[in-house]
Amino acid sequence: MILIKSKKEIDFIRESCRIVAETLHLLRSKVMWGISTLELDKIAEDYIRSNNATPAFKGYSQGGAPGFPGSICSSVDDEVVHGIPGSRILKVGEIISIDIGVLKNGYYGDAAITVPVGEVAPDKKKLLEVTEHSLHLGIEQALAGNRVHDISNAVQTYVETNGFSIVRDLCGHGVGRFLHEDPSIPNFGKKGTGPKLKNGMTLAIEPMVNAGKYEVVTANDGWTIITADGSTSAHFEHSILINNNEPEILTIC
């Protein structure tokens, strides 16, 4: 069931999304050679809790997997999403996806960025640019009266035109009362299909784009999703509100 949010609920979601955006802005400035993903995780958790909020991912479980141990998902190079923070030290030339969820007042916000570690190769730079731009093209289609797969098709068309592939096993989702709500928002699909979009919907749109083929596999830790062919992957995400028939980005700082 797709949940339409009241004004009071939207205010709570805005607050959670604000904290998400500020935490990502802080972490972007901390990504550099020599820092560990666990250090980034601690910075994020400290900031989230200083805002009287809770890291939404910590302890989260899905599909019978053990609870996620981190406050952020930190996914480097061929890791698509759900990377577990740990002792890994970032190196110049890598890219890292940082995905953050926040719970405050019973409502969630969710967003992600992918950040270069120092100078990166031109192909990685293009992957980042295309993935982020595809997110904004998808958001532009989040209009009352449109269909979910209008978002999906806009993302897919741009990504594939630029020679990259869309991950098909994972998708965006509704967000707000729960971390993951209906509708599912795939990053590929036929324009004009899927559930109708309405004012008051809050959605997390999140293209996951591979430099190689779209197939992915799950690592032995039960969480980290990696590209099957070892190619690099990028991930960008915003939580948005369909408001006055237009999309409003809630996780922008």
pLDDT digits (tens, 9 = 90+) for 12-64: 999 999 999 999 999 999 999 999 999 999 999 999 999 999 999 999 987 77
Is 49 contained in some domain? yes
Domain tally for the chain? 1
DSSP state of 109: E
Would you say 56 and 101 are in contact if contact means Cβ atoms under 8 Å apart?
A: yes
State the residue range of the domain holding 42. 7-62+69-249
Is 127 contained in some domain? yes
The CATH number that applies at residue 82 is: 3.90.230.10
Burial class (CB in 10 A: 0-12, 13-18, 19+), 165: buried
Is 181 contained in some domain? yes
Is 146 contained in some domain? yes
**Cβ-based neighbour number of residue 198 at 10 Å:** 13
Instruction: Work out the pLDDT band at 236, boundaries 50, 70, 90.
Output: very high
Is 2 contained in some domain? no
pLDDT digits (tens, 9 = 90+) for 147-200: 999 999 999 999 999 999 999 999 999 999 999 999 999 999 999 999 999 999
What pLDDT, on the 0 to 100 scale, is given for residue 62?
A: 74
pLDDT digits (tens, 9 = 90+) for 188-235: 999 999 999 999 999 999 999 999 999 999 999 999 999 999 999 999
β pairing state of 95-104 and 54-55: antiparallel
The whole-angstrom separation of Cα 108 and Cα 127 is: 28
Is 189 contained in some domain? yes
Would you say 124 and 115 are in contact if contact means Cβ atoms under 8 Å apart?
A: no
Model pTM?
0.97
Is 1 contained in some domain? no
The whole-angstrom separation of Cα 13 and Cα 225 is: 28
